[in-house]
Chain A
Amino acid sequence: DGGITQSPKYLFRKEGQNVTLSCEQNLNHDAMYWYRQDPGQGLRLIYYSQIVNDFQKGDIAEGYSVSREKKESFPLTVTSAQKNPTAFYLCASSQAGRLYEQYFGPGTRLTVT
């Protein structure tokens, strides 16, 4: 069964703690992306990676970090420096290039109190 998995679906953390969100894909896609979505809002790009061991900041990278050590995996760490981390986080993947559609995972709802 091909697709993108994100875990967990819901995550609760105390303020001041770092938390890592998982994203795995078995679609053999080179490119992977992390988006943040706030209630009633669109998608904002946090980080993206076009190839293993390389990634670039998106529009709202502050307070987040990523790694891309394997083609299949693109974990996102929400650090304590992120001032308003409560949000819905979506991971996506695609073939490299602008003309390819993105496939999204089911998302992780992070609540920080």
Chain B
Amino acid sequence: GQQVMQIPQYQHVQEGEDFTTYCNSSTTLSNIQWYKQRPGGHPVFLIQLVKSGEVKKQKRLTFQFGEAKKNSSLHITATQTTDVGTYFCAVPDQTGANNLFFGTGTRLTVIP
């Protein structure tokens, strides 16, 4: 079946430290999306990457799509307590269906 590895599974950081989560696919991707789910909440779309080597920034968040379009990363600079939550990558279903396959997520805890 389709596999999307997301690492690490958990990350604890002191407030102010940086954080990075990685998403790796065994197949070439047409695009990748990132979502954030706050504790007790629902996933919220953050961004989509489409082009090889693409880098997009949202304030302290930097998203990157690998040159081979098989991996992606989300980097948060100087974490804040508001960054707490689980970050998911989502990729197109490799069967060709028009739905997404979500990674297992990285749960971020920020220690004040």
Contacts and interface: CB of A to CB of B under 8 A. Distances in A.
A74 to B, nearest CB: 13
Task: Give the interface size class of chain B.
Answer: 20 to 34
B65 to A, nearest CB: 14
Nearest to A96: B98
Contact of A43 (B41, B44, B88, B98): B88
Interface stretch (A14-22, A62-70, A76-84, A101-109): A101-109
A110 interface: no
A65 to B, nearest CB: 18
Contacts of A90: 42-43
A104 B99 contact: no
A98 B31 contact: yes
Contact of A106 (B30, B42, B100): B42
A75 interface: no
B66 interface: no
Given A98-B98, A103-B45, A40 B107 contact: yes
Given A42-B88, A42-B105, A97 B45 contact: no
User: Which has the most chain A C-beta neighbours within 10 Å: B41, B42, B43, B102?
Assistant: B42
Interface of B: 1, 30-31, 33, 41-45, 48, 50, 88, 90, 92-93, 97-105, 107
Enumerate the 3 nearest inter-chain pairs by beta-carbon distance, A residue then B residue, closest first: A101-B45, A104-B42, A42-B104
Interface of A: 31, 33, 35, 40-43, 45, 48, 50, 56, 58-59, 90, 92, 96-99, 101-107
